[in-house]
Structure 1
Amino acid sequence: MGSGLDRRSFLLVAGLLGLAACGSDTGRGGAADGTLRHWYHAYGEDGVQDAVRRYAAGYPNGKVEVQWNPGDYDSKIVTALQNSAVPDVFEAQVKVDWVRQKQVVPLDDLLGDARDDFVRTLLDSQTVDGRLYGIPQAIDTQVLFYRPSLLRQAGVTPPTTVDALLDAAERLTAGKVRGLFAGNDGGVGVLTGPLLWSAGLDFLSADGTAPGFDDPRAAAVFGKLRELNQGGGLLLGAPTDWADPGAFVDGLVAMQWTGLWNLPKITAAHGDDVGVLPFPRLDATGAVSVPVGAYSAMVNARSADVEAAKAYVKWLWVEQTDHQTEFATAFGAHLPARRGLAERAERLGSGPGREVVGFVTDSGRIAAPARWSARANTALSDAVSRIARQGADAKEELTAALDVARAEIARLDR
Structure 2
Amino acid sequence: MTRVPTLSVCVPSRNRQIYFQQTIDGLLKRGRDGVQFIFADNSDDPSIMNDFMAERVADGRVIYLPSTGKTLSMMDNWERTIEAATGEWVSFIGDDDFIDPELAGLLERVGRVSPDIEAFSWSALTYSWPYQDEPPGTINLPYERGVIRLPRHEPFRRMFGWFEPAAVPTSGFSIYHAAIHRNLLQRIHDKYEKRYFTHAVVDYDMAMKVICEAQGFGFSMRPFSIFGACPESNSFSIGRLEDTKKKAQIFLDEFGKNFEADPELRDFPFSSFLGVTATIGVVQEVFRKKYNIKSPGWEKGYATACARNAEAYRQREAFDLINAGYEMAFKSWKGGRFLKDYAPVWKGDIPVEPVSGFTDSTVMVRSDIAGVKNPAELWDVVLGMIVPVEALQVDEDGLKGLERTELVSRDLRSKVANAQNGKPARMPGNGKLQHLKGRRR
Q: TM-score, normalised by structure 2?
A: 0.25
Q: Which protein, 1 or 2, shows the higher relative CO under an 8 Å CA cutoff with sep ≥ 6?
A: 1
Q: TM-score, normalised by structure 1?
A: 0.26
